[in-house]
Chains A and B, each alone.
Chain A
């Protein structure tokens, strides 16, 4: 009975996912000449070529999004090429005046982004006209199906307690075919979202009504991502609540990450936007929030009056004071597994994959090199950016400000944090980004390792080396290596998710904030064996 409900749920979820995916291909895209003229005037494109080319390409054509994207990008390319040639020509003729005049005709921006902007205004057909119905058929079915799949676990999992049965016997959670399929889907999703947003412009139509209600404007691809993110976390939190219903730490922690995602990362920025303020996620700390000190952001904040200045001061204080002080008292967990959005997704959507983190010594070595390199990268980028902002130079110590920002955004912001960070969940575990890449985690980790009250206490000599703790550590810490020696676990990478303590069958591990003295406690002989009793007595 319960299993039937589960399978029905899965079927409904897959239908929702299929419609969501297929919706990309639906509808048609075109503009009337009048609409195009208005658009070009709005965008202030001075190029005559782009007007001609776009007219040819999209006026009264009924194209699907892929054809549309292709012809629009071509139009921009043709236009830009035309003026590039002129520039080259005048350059050769040393006609500097003429050469200089051509630049105003050039159109800057990523081709897919330019195409996205036009596509957003050109969509016609079923999705745009039935956004409510489509919402139900995609998000609605997805949510209903997922909940039907998850809720029967209340009965199926049996009595409250650790229920990890069959994790390594199930294709989806044991790196089988299912896991690879999920990986491919997630990776494609991120690639499209980051690099080809025009392809998924239909998704933004589905959420336009919700976006308009919240912030007064229509939905962008980032609104879609934010909404989807919150929805997934909400649904997967239900799964967490059921799976760990015997464990109050997990229940409260899950509620916390969910709250900070929905309220701080999603609702508050949207509402701020509707109030004509810069949308800001008050919990997103630099350097995870890597563009906080970018010129455009500083400019936007300094031009936004009191709230802008407040955000500027808050963001700076958050990183320099609040974050380290909180880590001193509670460990980096207060951020990474209680507040952070990346952590929030990892702890909900990613929980079924936590066992895939690599526990080898080599992985630990790689982790230390990589994460501190990213921290250094982000700091260098910020120093260059700030120097250029204040001095109006375009480069510092030989590094071009624009180049380093673009490189970081592309390599770290998009590829590492998104495509790899989340896309690789099913195979490499749910904390790839947090462990190997997040510069904020690196910073918090340094504080946690050297100046914090947080530790995971090992309970004397009770460890039986079973390995549950290490297996389920999402950060790849070999917890058992410490526990079986009677040592507390004090590691910079520990995000304090508390699962090691939860899965321990012998009550050996406890996350706690205590005095710094004795936090790190190397032991020769474990508690229970009194070989050195006399020596111990003499020491005291």
Chain B
């Protein structure tokens, strides 16, 4: 029986395993050094905050793996010998594969800051990071202040975590406004304010120079690049993005750049070796996507795809319309299609924006300046229906159409205030149109003719 070995038990590897099992009888082994059972990395923050226990982050009960004949092996792969199709582990044991899927995910970026490996310096990515945080920041007596370096999604989550235990947080963000490489200026500014409302000491346009240690090799303070200011702290969170976690491949014949290079079939240069998820790097970008996509959903999608290929149903990785979501403290964010920030948008992209007068609710619709084709939407504080936007993007609907039928896309819980009327009114005023908002229609939503 063909033996499929998957290195990494994150969402990519586990999705691949599940779909291979669905479509075949092959022997499957998942290898992980981090934890025996699959857990949802995105939920680590909720354990620290006391919303959940670790067991709640495991989407499958422990019997699931045996029942589905998916072997779990705990171990750290140090070398891959592709000519003998063999994995070498740190305990010198080996494992022979017929097909190999590399799904080792990411590790936090470290930019060579002095002191970046001190005790009390950590990312927030692995289960071990969480254990480290519990050790160095159990409460605000042991950890009198934490400094977070890097203004992305994990940075703001780490800040939220620490604030839940009343630990003072200084948040160093390189950009002049939070996540403004991705968000539009209006949105980014709203999040800046929201961060401050949560009593987080947000420092924009601020870089880390070095991390200082006490005599025991534990972090004691950080120095700011721009001002030379020293900030005393007990924990430093490094959350300046992630890089593929592929150091163990260096001596193998598998071609790598920043990540493991793969073609559209997620095949590496070596036969029978595939790479998926955060650690995979496309030779050429797909559409407007990045070559490396370190996102939960794309990891899952690659897992679904590679499973088809491995079970004899060869498929190219063909992601549909871009979507993503996040939560910034109390503000939910969703995006469908492409909305680029002012910093990164192209000539032809224009926004229509609406923001609630007092609440943290706003939307940005991006459209083509000339054709008025709808390109994408960012929503904050309003939930939107994925299927509807996916459909509208496929149909190349116009900006005006999206505005007119926006009520169909609303996904907020029942009885929530609706803002379509407000949004349409602003649109009409700005654009000189006379669009009337269409009432929500189940027929349209469920495409019933």
Q: Which residues of A contact B (CB under 8 A)?
A: 158-162, 164-170, 246-249, 252, 360-361, 457, 459-462, 464-468, 470-471, 480-481, 484, 498, 501-503, 505-507, 510-512, 514-515, 517-518, 525-531, 533
Contacts and interface: CB of A to CB of B under 8 A. Distances in A.
A505 B332 contact: yes
B42 A466 contact: yes
A156 B150 CA distance: 28
25 contacts: A165-B49, A165-B51, A166-B49, A360-B61, A459-B383, A459-B386, A459-B387, A461-B386, A462-B325, A462-B386, A464-B40, A464-B42, A464-B325, A466-B40, A467-B52, A471-B56, A505-B327, A506-B334, A507-B332, A507-B334, A510-B414, A512-B414, A514-B445, A527-B386, A528-B321
Nearest to B303: A529
B12 to A, nearest CB: 12
A164 B49 contact: yes
Given A248-B416, A459-B385, A525 B304 contact: yes
B383 A467 contact: no
Nearest to B11: A465
A466 B57 contact: yes
Contacts of B297: 461-462, 464, 526, 528
Given A166-B49, A465-B40, 10 more contacts: A159-B197, A159-B198, A165-B51, A168-B53, A246-B330, A507-B384, A518-B446, A525-B304, A529-B305, A531-B315
Interface string B288-326: 000000001100110011001000000100111101011
Contacts of B305: 529, 531
Contacts of B61: 360-361
A169 B318 CA distance: 44
B65 interface: no
A502 B49 CA distance: 17
Contacts of A468: 43, 46, 51-52
A512 B57 CA distance: 26
The A interface is mostly helix, strand or loop, or mixed, namely: loop
Contact of B383 (A169, A249, A498, A507): A507
A467 B300 CA distance: 16
Contact of B325 (A471, A507, A514, A527): A507
B383 A168 contact: no
B198 A169 contact: no
Contact of A164 (B51, B318, B329): B51
A73 to B, nearest CB: 48
A160 to B, nearest CB: 7
A170 B50 contact: yes
B319 A459 contact: no
Nearest to A481: B59
B417 interface: yes
Which of A161, A247, A515, A530 lies at the interface centre, i.e. has the most chain B CB atoms within 10 A of its CB?
A530
Contacts of A159: 197-198, 329-330
A514 B334 CA distance: 23
B413 A510 contact: yes
A361 B59 CA distance: 12
B338 to A, nearest CB: 14
Contacts of B332: 505-507
B446 A166 contact: no
A499 to B, nearest CB: 10
Nearest to B379: A507
Contact of A169 (B50, B56, B325, B390): B50
B319 A530 contact: yes
Nearest to B382: A507
Contact of B413 (A460, A465, A498, A514): A498
B59 A529 contact: no
A530 to B, nearest CB: 4
B442 interface: yes
Given A506-B327, A514-B445, A531-B315, A248 B46 contact: no
Interface string B351-390: 0000000000000000000000000000000011111001
Given A471-B56, A515-B448, A526-B304, A165 B164 contact: yes
Contact of A511 (B49, B321, B327, B414): B414
Nearest to B160: A165
A514 B43 CA distance: 31
Contacts of B386: 459-462, 527-528
A531 B40 contact: no
B415 interface: yes
Contacts of B198: 158-159
Given A360-B61, A465-B59, A527-B390, A160 B46 contact: no
B248 interface: no
A174 B116 CA distance: 36
Contacts of B57: 466-467
Nearest to A470: B56
Contacts of A360: 61
Contacts of A517: 446, 448
B381 to A, nearest CB: 10
Which of A166, A471, A515, A528 lies at the interface centre, i.e. has the most chain B CB atoms within 10 A of its CB?
A528
Contacts of A503: 51
Contact of A501 (B49, B50, B58, B413): B413
A279 B301 CA distance: 60
A466 B43 contact: yes
Contacts of A461: 297, 300-301, 323, 386
A508 B327 CA distance: 12
B390 A247 contact: no
Chain A to chain B: the 8 pairs with minimum beta-carbon distance, closest first? A460-B386, A161-B330, A507-B383, A466-B43, A529-B301, A169-B50, A166-B50, A248-B415
A266 B155 CA distance: 52
Contacts of A252: 415
Contacts of B321: 528
Interface string B400-418: 0000000000011111110
Contacts of A160: 330
Nearest to A471: B56
Contacts of A528: 297, 301, 319-321, 323, 386, 390
Which of B52, B319, B329, B448 lies at the interface centre, i.e. has the most chain A CB atoms within 10 A of its CB?
B52
Given A166-B50, A459-B411, A528-B320, A464 B390 contact: no
Contacts of A484: 59
A208 B51 CA distance: 44
Contacts of B46: 164, 466-468
A167 to B, nearest CB: 5
B50 A527 contact: no
B414 A460 contact: no
Which of A167, A498, A505 lies at the interface centre, i.e. has the most chain B CB atoms within 10 A of its CB?
A505
B46 to A, nearest CB: 7
A167 B50 contact: yes
Which of A465, A502, A527 lies at the interface centre, i.e. has the most chain B CB atoms within 10 A of its CB?
A465
A530 B320 contact: yes
Contacts of B323: 460-462, 528
Contacts of B329: 159, 161
Interface string B427-449: 00000000000000010011010
Contacts of A525: 304
Nearest to B58: A467
A500 to B, nearest CB: 10
A480 B59 contact: yes
B301 A526 contact: yes
A467 B315 contact: no
A162 B329 CA distance: 10
A531 B384 CA distance: 24
B330 A247 contact: no
Interface string B20-58: 000000000000000000001011001101111100111
A467 B43 contact: yes
B52 A460 contact: no
